[in-house]
Amino acid sequence: MTEITEKYLTLRGANNDIYFFQKRVSEKVADIIGTSFVKTSLRTKDLSEAISSRDDLVDALNELENSTTQEISDNSRSVMDSFGISLLSENEHKNSPTSNEPDQGRRKVLIGLTAGFAAAGVAFAATPFVTTWNPSARAKAIGSAVKVDVSKMMVGQQIQVSWRKQPILIIRHSPSALSGLASVTSKLADPNSDSIDEPYKNINATRSLSTEYSVLSGVCTHLGCSPKYYPEVEPKPWDSSWAGGFFCPCHGSMFDLVGRVYKGVPAPTNLTVPPHFFEGSILTIGEEA
């Protein structure tokens, strides 16, 4: 199994007829479904059906990431049930004496963490996990503004919060990272956000009201998957001249460090920027000053 198979969502055929879904999930989702790596058959011989089935499962897992087991829709619950993924409530998980072991009787999800890709896992584990700061359930339900103290963020770090049940990405950039944005301009489809209604256009290189922080929707503009943050300037499996930014594992869309979309990828537009304002180190998302 290759490094890219271990790290990223893949869709592959076995014996040219059965398609499989593989995905590493967040710690939060892993606590609920009992495994950090989902590997399951999409039960079809048709590629288009496999992609549709895969996308349904991705959407269900993303909804679980941004809500609780009580809030998840019946449709998403049904999708996961159809793949044998059982949802444990937070109380069930805490009270279960075997909560850290896969329940083979309840789930048909296979844990794909084998010795074959242990070395690849070392590099993956070395990448800091994204910190998630969520508002209260009531605030999420009514779409209230979210306040975040960004003063403790390290340079180069991304954190994720939830606003209106959607992930919002906050990135603290180094001066060198911002100065390097010009190096990828020729690769971008819309470097100045001319094709979208951008609230703070041409104010800062960050595309936000801050000269240091970017505030972006964490929803890919292609089909709503969640792009992942890869700030390292180094060759990647999807781009040998990677200069840092976001890669969407679902269909391969790429965005630079401030969420501007690359040319020739499925995503049609840049990542959107939600309304926000800063008061010192306090970032308010969902309102304008």
Same domain, 48 and 147: no
More confident residue, 21 or 78: 78
Q: Is the predicted pLDDT of residue 45 greater than 90, yes or no?
A: no
Same domain, 31 and 56: yes
Same domain, 161 and 273: yes
* Domain extent at residue 64: 3-121
Entry pTM: 0.53
Same domain, 111 and 199: no
Q: How confident is the model at residue 279 (pLDDT cuts 50, 70, 90)?
A: very high
Percent of the residues in the chain that have a pLDDT greater than 90, as a whole number: 42
Same domain, 70 and 157: no
Tokens of 139: 């605030």
Give the Cα separation of 32 and 109 in Å (integer): 13
In this structure, are residues 110 and 40 in contact, taking their beta carbons and an 8 Å threshold? Answer: yes
Same domain, 142 and 279: yes
Q: What is the pLDDT of residue 123?
A: 36
In this structure, are residues 244 and 252 in contact, taking their beta carbons and an 8 Å threshold? Answer: no
Of the residues 121, 139, 159, the one at which a domain ends: 121
Name which of 135, 17, 149, 123 is nearest 67 in CA terms. Answer: 135
What mean pLDDT comes out for the span 187-196?
94
